[in-house]
Structures are given as C-alpha cells and as structure tokens.
Structure 1
Amino acid sequence: MRNIWKSVKRSAAVLAVALAGFSLMPGTALAQPDAPRGAQEAQAGLPVVGGTRAAQGEFPFMVRLSMGCGGALYTQTLVLTAAHCVGGTGANTSITATAGVVDLQSSSAIKVRSTYVYRAPGYNGTGKDWALIKLAQPINLPTLKIAETTAYNNGTFTIAGWGAAVEGGSQQRYLLKATVPFVDDATCKSAYSELVPNEEICAGYNQGGVDTCQGDSGGPMFRKDNAGQWIQVGIVSWGYGCARPGYPGVYTEVSTFASAIKSAAAQIGG
C-alpha cells in the first residue's frame, strides 16, 4: 500500500479537488483497504480541490458510493468505479449507490443497493484500477460512455466528486467540479516513478491548486467528444497528497481497459 499522504488512493477522502472556501461535511466511511488516491485512503478521504459546486442535473451520471468513493453510471444497472474502492469479485449487498442529486442530503436522492462486485482481474494495488458494481435495480438516469481509443486522452478534462476540498479535509455534502489539463506520461513519470504509463493517465496543473482528493476515488474524469457528448477518459485513482505543485492526479486510463470493461459488463449481466 502506498503511503496515505504520499500516494493516497483517492477514496473516501481522495478525489478532493482542493476547494478552498467550501463547508465540509463530517467524514463518511473511508474507502476500502486498497485505496489509491489514498492507498490508505482507507484511512483518509479527499474531495475535489479548487472546484465549484455543480448544478443539479449537470452531471446526471455521477454516483456516490457508501464506502466513501465515487463512480459513474456505465449502464443503468452498473456503476464504473475504482478497484481500490471494493473488495474482491463476488456477491456483495453492502454498498449503497446514491444518484440523481448534487446534495447528498436531498430527499430526492435515488438510493440503490449493490448485488455484485467485479474487480479488475490481476489488480494488486498498482494499475488496473477499475471495477464494476451491479445494482439491485436500474437507475433511470443518463449513463456516461467510455473512451475506447486514446483519441480523447488530451486537452482539458472535467473532474467531479464529493471528496474533500483540501488535503486531509472531510467529505463534501455537495458535488464539486473543476477542470484540469492533460499531463504527458514523461512529465508525470518524473513526479511518480511508480506510474504505469500504459494503464494510467495524468492530469493537473504544475502549480497545483486544483485536483481530485480523498473521497473522489472511483469517480470519472471526462471531456466532450467530437459530437459534444461527455465521454469518460479516466477513473480517479491516486496521487501524492492533493493539489500539490508538481504532482498531478493519476487516473486509470479507461481506453486501455474498455474491452475488458465491456466484456465484464456482459458477463455479470449489466
């Protein structure tokens, strides 16, 4: 496991896009033991640092998971999240997915329990950080398509989550959003020697200030495709602290695993 503040997998307290000035909620349950943006996120938790509140309905595919991670609707019965947020593959009814709201305390929130978890085969804490959670019933909201090629692994991305707004902060009540630029593999590798270039993609500002954080793990990093539709390029995974200068956020490169994700979805009946 990576050091909690050094290379924390951003679960429960991980997706923090470091947002100064937002009220924080009391921390919720942290991510499971293998949490990248928070390798010890299982003991930390971050939100989107440097972000602003998302509008109701702006990102209808966003999902909050009860273990303190984020996710996105891959289908109306499957949530795509990070492997470090869940245990092994198998039946699992312990996770609650909350969707349809930016305010987690809203009476309009849709809450659905899990029935099954599929964690990426071979996941051991480095790379391959993706998983699917099957829901007990469909959530009738728009889904987020995933990138199947590297064509969109560039430009500026949107990140969003309910994680901490500052490194070491508490989870958020309201969904926060921010934008971050692509960082090439060579530059990212100079910051993180353990980066897996073919399986991970980096984004962030060299000067820091905006990033995902604890509690954001598993959430999507996305952008518009050539048709102007949202497409998921990354999954919040890990990083050294949150929004630190010279240390961009590290995300699972979705296009690398697109065929595996599609196959897994078909296998578990999503």
Structure 2
Amino acid sequence: MLSLLVALGLVTLVRTQGAIPCGTPSVQPITTRIVGGVESAANSWPYVTLVVDDLGYIAGSATILNEHVLVTSAQHFEGPGYSIFDVDITHWRVYAGEHNIHTKDPNERYYHIARVVLHPGYNYSSLENDIALIITRERMQFNVHVSGACLPDSTHQYTVGQKCYLPGWGSTAASGNEEVLNQVDLPILADDICTHHWPDFLPATEICAGYENGTKDFCADDIGSPLLCKDQSGQWYIMGIASSGGNCKLHDEPGVFEDVTKYSDWVKKTMEDAGFPYQP
C-alpha cells in the first residue's frame, strides 16, 4: 500500500447532478491505442475516488453515484480478522477530483465517511455479494472534475467482447507510474473462462473481464474500482466492481467483478432509505 501524501485543493466550476447527465465527463477518456495500463487523462474519470483508511493508506477506490453516496467493495471494511464494527470509519476519507497522490492537485477535495452499508448477503470468505455503499458526512461538490457515474438497472446489457475500462491507483507492478490515476482496458469475457480459472466464480452475480495471455490486469489496491462501460448513448455506466483476481505481476488470469446490474435495486433502495435517492 502507498501512504497518501495529498493536500486539499480548491474546487471550482460547481455543477449539480441534475444539470448534467451521469457518466458524461468534460474530458473524454483515452480509449484508443492502449497497450497495458496507461495514465488516464486528468478529469476524464470524474466519478472515481480514492479511498484512504484511518492510517493514511490507500484501501482502494469507490465510484460516485450522487453527492453523498459512493459504491465500492465490501471487503474494504470486513474480512478475515477485521469487522465493520471494529473499523473507525470516521477517520477514513474519500478523495474526489484526485489524480496524482503525491502532488497538490488543484481540484481534489476529501470527504469524511459518515457510515458504510454492507450488502446484507456479503460473505467475506466467498466474496459473494462483495458490494457496499459509502455515505459521506459532507455533501460532495459536483463540478467538471467531480460527478456521478451512471447506475445500470437490471435490464442493462453488456456483451462478451465489449471493451470496458478500470481506472485506479493500484500497483502497476513496475509497469508505470502508480502515483497517478491509471486505467486499463478490459474486455468482457464469457463466464466459463472465469469458471475455468476460478472454480468459485459466481456467474449469477459476477462478471468475468480481462485477459488470459499476460498483458493487463488490476492489483490489490484497485479493489473496489469500477469497471466502466460506455453505453450507446455515450454515457459511462458502472457495470462492475473489482473484487478478486490472480497475481497482477503475472497478469495471466482474468479478473472477477461484482455485476452491478444485479444489485441496482438494492443500491437504489439503500440510497433512498439513507435519504439520498439516486437521480441519473
């Protein structure tokens, strides 16, 4: 893990979620000529935030859904030997508008976590239902650098071979600069490919994406990062949440993502119950 050495920057050019549709960045992401992971264009993934624990270390990433709610992996907060009831959430932070963790980015701002809602069916042993919502204490300021991704509903479709993208601050396994937000293109794979690699793969609630030939992968600090897919409308939807995979130094096995389409009803109900209903 990397210690976070970032400073609070000013946020300008405020906009609201209602003013601009979800999943529409002001800076278009790099989507051509990618070989392995590359540094993302600044502000091209305004929905992706850095999650930092109470010791100042990177836990992973989360994705903004509205001004108070983010979605991420449940395993940040509960797993073998640690429980959500033992974690001092009040000292955790999410950094929005972040790009380089070792420079004073002018658009970054951190927010405290008020509470975390784990999926009631989450099992840390099998990583079944590995999804959680983060509720921030402060209202996140939306602008051209910070905004929400689109949440797919249960009818939203993705196809095998479709190219999607994972942005994150995880280790690059010496293949690039891990102090900046990097991105990697990951195609959707057939379920049987992940079943071959991972006998505990759950096709009913998980997505298989990535490669088998040793070219690209995500690492441990990318857990919770979104698998973002561009819809025909041009909007970016969070279709998956990075949950598990192989050795990213070998990058010869596909990754496993929670299928967000299977959880959209739970996400929307939980957001509404928290007083922050989802509005695309």
Q: Which amino acid aligns with 1:117?
A: V
**Deviations 1:6-64 (Å, cap 9, x if unpaired)?**
xxxxxx5xxxxxxxxxxxxxx238xxxxxxxxxxxxxxxxxxx9311111110111100
Q: Give the aligned partner of residue 252 of structure 1.
A: 258
TM-score, normalization by structure 1: 0.77
Q: Give 1:139-178 correspondences, 5 Å limit.
A: 139=140, 140=142, 141-148=146-153, 149-154=155-160, 155-166=162-173, 172-178=178-184
Q: What is the distance in 2 between the residues matched to 1:70 and 1:135?
A: 14
Q: CA deviation at 1:226?
A: 1.5
Q: Give the aligned partner of residue 123 of structure 2.
A: 124
Task: Give the 3 Å change call, closer, same or farther, for CA 120–226 of structure 1 in structure 2.
Answer: same
Q: Give 1:9-28 correspondences, 5 Å limit.
A: 27-28=2-3
Q: CA deviation at 1:265?
A: 1.1
Q: What is the distance in 1 between the residues matched to 2:60 and 2:159?
A: 23
Q: What is the distance in 2 between the residues matched to 1:116 and 1:170?
A: 34
Q: Give the aligned partner of residue 214 of structure 1.
A: 220
Q: CA deviation at 1:75?
A: 1.0
**Number of paired residues?**
225
Q: CA deviation at 1:100?
A: 0.6
Q: Which amino acid aligns with 1:85?
A: H
Q: CA deviation at 1:246?
A: 4.6
The more displaced of 56-65 and 137-146 is: 137-146
Q: What is the distance in 1 between the residues matched to 2:178 and 2:123?
A: 29
Q: Give the aligned partner of residue 133 of structure 1.
A: 134
Q: What is the distance in 2 between the residues matched to 1:198 and 1:84?
A: 19
Selected match of 1:66 from 52, 59, 62 = 52
**Deviations 1:199-236 (Å, cap 9, x if unpaired)?**
11011122022111111011100111120110111001
Q: Give the aligned partner of residue 111 of structure 1.
A: 110
Q: What is the distance in 1 between the residues matched to 2:176 and 2:187?
A: 25
What SS does structure 2 have at the residue aligned with 1:263?
helix
Q: Which amino acid aligns with 2:39?
A: R
Q: What is the distance in 2 between the residues matched to 1:72 and 1:81?
A: 6
Q: What is the distance in 2 between the residues matched to 1:62 and 1:175?
A: 9
- Given the alignment of the two structures, is residue 95 of structure 1 paired with residue 92 of structure 2, yes or no? yes
Q: Give the aligned partner of residue 186 of structure 1.
A: 192
Selected match of 1:82 from 73, 85, 90 = 73
Selected match of 1:52 from 14, 26, 38 = 38
Q: Which amino acid aligns with 1:137?
A: E
- Going by fraction, where is strand more abundant, 1 or 2? 1
Q: CA deviation at 1:243?
A: 6.1
Q: Which amino acid aligns with 1:219?
A: S
Q: CA deviation at 1:253?
A: 0.6
Asked if the contact 2:60–2:225 (Cα under 8 Å) also holds between the matched residues in 1, the reply is yes
- Larger RCO of the pair (alpha carbons < 8 Å, separation 6+): 1
Q: Give the aligned partner of residue 239 of structure 2.
A: 233
Asked if the contact 2:50–2:98 (Cα under 8 Å) also holds between the matched residues in 1, the reply is no
Q: What is the distance in 1 between the residues matched to 2:90 and 2:258?
A: 25
Q: In structure 2, list runs of 5 or more residues that go unmatched.
A: 5-34, 54-58
Q: Which amino acid aligns with 1:113?
A: H
Q: What is the distance in 2 between the residues matched to 1:206 and 1:216?
A: 19
**Deviations 1:81-121 (Å, cap 9, x if unpaired)?**
00101246679312100011211232422111110100111
**Deviations 1:156-204 (Å, cap 9, x if unpaired)?**
111110000018x999320001101111111110110010111110111
Q: Which amino acid aligns with 1:193?
A: P
